[in-house]
Structure 1
Amino acid sequence: MSSIALPPELIETIVDEIGLLHDRGTLKACSLVSLAFAFPAQRHLFRAVDLDNHIPRKKAYQRFHRLLVAKPHLGAYVRELRLGDDSEDDFGSGKSWIVQAKTLPRTLGLLPRLEAFTLTFNAEQTNWKAIPAETRSALGHLFRLPSLQAVSLEFIKAFPPQLLLSLTRLKHLSLSCVETDMSTPLATYIHTRWESNLQSLFLRGTSPPTVEMIGQALASSPPHSLRRLAITPTFEHGFSDAVSDLIKTGGSCLTAFEWLPSIHFSSSAGSIDLGLLPQLRLLRFVVSFRKTYAQGPFPEVVRLLSQLVAPQTVNSTANIVESVTIDVHCVRNVDGNKLQTEWKPIDKVLTKPAFRRLKEVKVRLSTSTSSSADRHKFTLAFQDILPRLQAKGVLLSVTNYHEVEDAKALLDGLEGL
């Protein structure tokens, strides 16, 4: 019997539907049917390559490199790449395989259509100058790809200021424990105009000079494009002031603000003033119920929320905040009456007239810092801890969330903002 040939358009439609389901098993099976199925299936299989999710990561990278060299057409399918170092426990020597990988420049050169790139060194910060010149050049070329929209960098020191400022042309930028090279004074770059298109910016443990440079780039490129700002503060002198200046000079169009302090230490927002942001619609906070917090988990959150009802706000009678998300950590020995007392300040501030557009309050319980039993007890008690908001008709919800999955969503698009 002669075989029936399906039209290429139909094959692509079938494979695309499977791709939407993220069914990698079926996609792999499709890639073995015929060449007509192989190429559409490969386009989905290699769209996102996460080499930070395999241990040892060095071996995962080596396999990927060999595959790219053997079949270079696959590189055109890769839209997202995540590179991560092995931890000291994984590789023992304490040396970075990323720094030592002589083939990495060629690998990066085989990815012409990359849209999102994550580079994570281990907890010991890697000096940018310790990376081989050829690899630094390849990274610089990657950062200039017209297709690139999002970059995430972790644990890097002495990062070149010019390269940092050039990254503000992207839509999404995430910096975690990144320190810029300050051998040249910041004033050298202040009067230069930088083309900034940033829509989403995440700063975690980032040095004040790094924040100041990004703020200068945003300020020199009106109209302002930044819509989402997520902050995990440091204890370095000047950090809050640097963030405050960034908000004043480049954050006038912010619609989402996230205050995500460490769950182990109490942090102050310092001079940061949300009252300067009249377009805020979405707010997200991290709180911890660790016993070390003598004043409870909410003083800083309440202070930030109160700025949106204070007289100095742009509109002292109302803001346009629609959604507030509170990520809760370290729930212990849940007691309903005690919970209601602890949450009363939140219930009080969010029911003030200025929050009349508030539609929902979402509480998310971390699965990594609280037991399932305590989370279950909290969920049962939750229906009584925000009585004013409940009476006002605000939609209240409590769910569980996983930090690993949440971290991967930090560079998601901002549709609807």
Structure 2
Amino acid sequence: MALLPQELFDAIIDEIRDKETLKACALVGSSFLPPSQRKLFRKVRGLGRHSRFTAAALAESPHLVSYIRDLTIYMPLTVPNSVTVAGVLRSVQNIESLVVFGRAVNWNRLEHEACSALLDCLSRPSLRRLDLKHMEGVPTALILAAMAIPVVSFFRIRTDVREEISEQLHASAPAPRLRHLILVDAGSAVRLICDSLLHPRNPACTQKIEHLEIPIDQDNVSYAERIMAACAVTLKYLAVYATDLMRLPLLPFVLEVEIKVFVGDNRRLPVFFSHNFSQIASSLPLAETITLVVFVRPLRFRPEIEWPNEGPLPIFGPSFMNRTQLLHLRRVHCILRRQSTFGDISALFDHFVPAMGSMLPGLQGTGILTCTLGDPQQ
């Protein structure tokens, strides 16, 4: 085998998807070991919680850290786990994607070493995506550091609402590279992120954002509107989860919009839905794709009810093809999705399809309208 080029072994290993097979290949010989290790440790999941094998392997063979490109960690409370996580975060130099689960703990309760290492890791030039999930007390320093990463997702995080954004922090903030911002159930973080993005010291923070996903509710509607307006010149994709009235600014270059709503047990769209949906025509003149995601929970212990006929939306009435707005519209996709993995909504889908047809009668027979039953929300 020594006479064969190493590139051949690399190509063979690259086609293997099963971890057990990769572990076996690593024992075959010196030509198989490096490519097998690179494939095995390119994605590391659950560091800090489940991965005793991974933690032990990284401790025994530190060179394996250099293979990590995609890392998922659980920020721990125990000192030994903190030391392990901090060591990996400080050593991984070519990381591309980082997912951090806080397990609903407060940042201030975490070990300083792990927190400090995480902040240092966010400055890696190779880092292209950060997902921060389930953490409270997230500091301003981390929010500002995240602005230097192209793709950032905050899921159920909370910041310290008493914390002020210091001028010193803004002065030392890295150059923004943010292209894609996702905020899901972000609570108080929306205010802090908005204040960070729109701070006078950071005029370039919003000038490159092309993809924005943001919730709109009573607590953050004004902040959401400010962020959308600040991104208007570059924004091409917008997703909103609206639980309140929204006011869309003019977004002249958005090509795709996604509106997410929750339907209660009466199977009726929110009272503000028609108002929110109608704004698309006037605010997004170049929109090519509109996606409506309707979240429901199955009715327990009783049969599914008919979907109420709520009448057509104004612009999508029978005269839609004579429209003077939404001239570029090519697709309207309506998705019915369960809120959880439990229950069955297939019977409701049978009502959902004609309900969407009656709400969008001008799209019937045009090939523009599609309806699908989606997977539960992740």
TM over 0.5: same fold?
A: yes
In 2, Cα distance between equivalents of 1:98 and 1:268: 43
Which of 388, 392, 400 pairs up with 2:366?
392
- Matching of residue 288 in structure 1 with residue 269 in structure 2: no
1:354-395 CA distances to partner (integer Å, 9 max, x unpaired)? Answer: 223222233333355487753255158626742432323205
- Matching of residue 6 in structure 1 with residue 4 in structure 2: yes
Task: Describe the SS at the equivalent of 1:241.
Answer: helix
- Matching of residue 212 in structure 1 with residue 194 in structure 2: yes
Task: Describe the SS at the equivalent of 1:232.
Answer: strand
CA separation of 1:191/1:105 partners in 2, compared to 1, >3 Å: closer, same or farther? closer
- Matching of residue 258 in structure 1 with residue 239 in structure 2: yes
Q: Partner residue of 2:244?
A: 268
CA separation of 1:31/1:209 partners in 2, compared to 1, >3 Å: closer, same or farther? same
Task: Describe the SS at the equivalent of 2:152.
Answer: strand
In 2, Cα distance between equivalents of 1:104 and 1:4: 38
Task: Confirm or deny: 8 A CA contact 2:119 2:145 kept in the other structure.
Answer: no
Q: Partner residue of 1:348?
A: 316
Shift of 1:221: 0.6
CA separation of 1:234/1:177 partners in 2, compared to 1, >3 Å: closer, same or farther? farther
* Amino acid aligned to 1:63: F
CA separation of 1:384/1:213 partners in 2, compared to 1, >3 Å: closer, same or farther? closer
Task: Describe the SS at the equivalent of 1:122.
Answer: strand
In 2, Cα distance between equivalents of 1:244 and 1:189: 27
Task: Describe the SS at the equivalent of 1:307.
Answer: helix
Task: Describe the SS at the equivalent of 1:35.
Answer: coil
1:274-309 CA distances to partner (integer Å, 9 max, x unpaired)? Answer: 34211112222222232267xx22444432332233
- Matching of residue 170 in structure 1 with residue 144 in structure 2: no
Which one has a larger percent helix, Structure 1 or Structure 2?
A: 1
1:47-69 CA distances to partner (integer Å, 9 max, x unpaired)? Answer: 222207xxxx62x2443221101
Q: Partner residue of 2:178?
A: 198
Q: Please list, as runs of the form range in 1=range in 2, the aligned pairs for 1:183-194 lying within 5 A after superposition.
A: 185-186=164-165, 188=167, 192=171
CA separation of 1:363/1:66 partners in 2, compared to 1, >3 Å: closer, same or farther? same
Task: Describe the SS at the equivalent of 2:103.
Answer: coil
Q: Partner residue of 1:297?
A: 269
Q: Partner residue of 1:278?
A: 252
Q: Partner residue of 2:281?
A: 309
CA separation of 1:187/1:171 partners in 2, compared to 1, >3 Å: closer, same or farther? same
CA separation of 1:178/1:99 partners in 2, compared to 1, >3 Å: closer, same or farther? farther
* Amino acid aligned to 2:11: T
Shift of 1:70: 0.9
CA separation of 1:45/1:187 partners in 2, compared to 1, >3 Å: closer, same or farther? closer
Q: Partner residue of 2:61?
A: 71
Q: Partner residue of 1:225?
A: 208
- Say how many residue pairs are matched: 365
Shift of 1:254: 1.2
CA separation of 1:62/1:235 partners in 2, compared to 1, >3 Å: closer, same or farther? farther
1:180-225 CA distances to partner (integer Å, 9 max, x unpaired)? Answer: 4565644737985862211111112231431323332596117711
CA separation of 1:360/1:98 partners in 2, compared to 1, >3 Å: closer, same or farther? farther
Q: Partner residue of 1:382?
A: 353
Q: Please list, as runs of the form range in 1=range in 2, the aligned pairs for 1:18-417 lying within 5 A after superposition.
A: 18=16, 22-51=17-46, 58=49, 60-84=50-74, 96-97=77-78, 101-123=82-104, 125-126=105-106, 128-181=107-160, 185-186=164-165, 188=167, 192=171, 195-204=175-184, 205-207=186-188, 208-216=190-198, 220-221=203-204, 224-233=207-216, 235-236=218-219, 239-260=220-241, 267-270=243-246, 273-291=247-265, 296-310=268-282, 313=283, 318-330=285-297, 332=299, 333-334=303-304, 338-339=306-307, 341-342=309-310, 344-345=312-313, 348=316, 351=320, 353-367=324-338, 369=340, 373-375=344-346, 378-379=349-350, 382=353, 385-386=356-357, 387-404=361-378
* Amino acid aligned to 1:224: Q
1:69-123 CA distances to partner (integer Å, 9 max, x unpaired)? Answer: 112222112111112369xxxxxxxxx4489633322122232211111212223
In 2, Cα distance between equivalents of 1:234 and 1:391: 35
In 2, Cα distance between equivalents of 1:25 and 1:223: 45
CA separation of 1:396/1:331 partners in 2, compared to 1, >3 Å: closer, same or farther? farther
Unaligned ranges ≥5, structure 2: none
Task: Confirm or deny: 8 A CA contact 1:175 1:206 kept in the other structure.
Answer: no
Task: Describe the SS at the equivalent of 1:210.
Answer: helix
Identity of aligned residues (%): 21
CA separation of 1:370/1:286 partners in 2, compared to 1, >3 Å: closer, same or farther? farther
Task: Describe the SS at the equivalent of 1:401.
Answer: coil
CA separation of 1:292/1:213 partners in 2, compared to 1, >3 Å: closer, same or farther? farther
In 2, Cα distance between equivalents of 1:30 and 1:376: 49
Q: CA RMSD in A?
A: 3.5
Give TM-score scaled by structure 1 length.
0.75
CA separation of 1:151/1:246 partners in 2, compared to 1, >3 Å: closer, same or farther? same
CA separation of 1:155/1:33 partners in 2, compared to 1, >3 Å: closer, same or farther? same
CA separation of 1:233/1:82 partners in 2, compared to 1, >3 Å: closer, same or farther? farther
* Amino acid aligned to 1:364: I
Shift of 1:170: 0.7
* Amino acid aligned to 2:281: V
Task: Confirm or deny: 8 A CA contact 2:19 2:40 kept in the other structure.
Answer: yes
In 2, Cα distance between equivalents of 1:118 and 1:41: 23
In 2, Cα distance between equivalents of 1:33 and 1:27: 10
CA separation of 1:256/1:184 partners in 2, compared to 1, >3 Å: closer, same or farther? same
